[in-house]
Amino acid sequence: EIVLTQSPGTLSLSPGERATLSCRASQSVSSSYLAWYQQKPGQAPRLLIYGASSRATGIPDRFSGSGSGTDFTLTISRLEPEDFAVYYCQQYGSSAYTFGQGTKLEIK
């Protein structure tokens, strides 16, 4: 089973700043099979990025994804107040899915 490790566990930033979230896999992941989600308190997760770098429908262009192999990154170029939430990466491989443990993005 591929293990995804996200860092940092908590990221404290201010609105307007740039956020960089990391997701590292225990073995190589196809870029086609790496996704990112946002989850706010009391809500279901929402798909942000799929295929490592493709934005889901309706996702603002301040969200971008990059990476390949074992290292992937979610970047939020200029934080808006509504972006403070928990972010999860997820991979698919060998008919199984795994999620990272999450990064909490909090207001500084």
CA 15 – CA 62 distance, rounded (Å): 13
Rounded to the nearest whole angstrom, what is the least distance from the CB of residue 88 to another protein in the complex?
6
The one-letter amino acid code at 7 reads: S
Q: Which C-beta is closer to another protein: that of 13 or that of 56?
A: 56
Q: Which C-beta is closer to another protein: that of 16 or that of 54?
A: 54
Q: In the window 40-69, what residues touch another protein (CB under 8 A)?
A: 44-47, 50-51, 56-57
Instruction: To the nearest 10°, report the CA torsion of 10, 71, 91, 55.
Output: 80
φ, ψ at 82 (rounded to 5°)? -80, -5
Rounded to the nearest whole angstrom, what is the least distance from the CB of residue 32 to another protein in the complex?
7
The mark string for 66-95 relative to another protein (x by CB under 8 A, - otherwise) is ----------------------x-x-x--x
CB atoms within 10 A of CB 95: 5
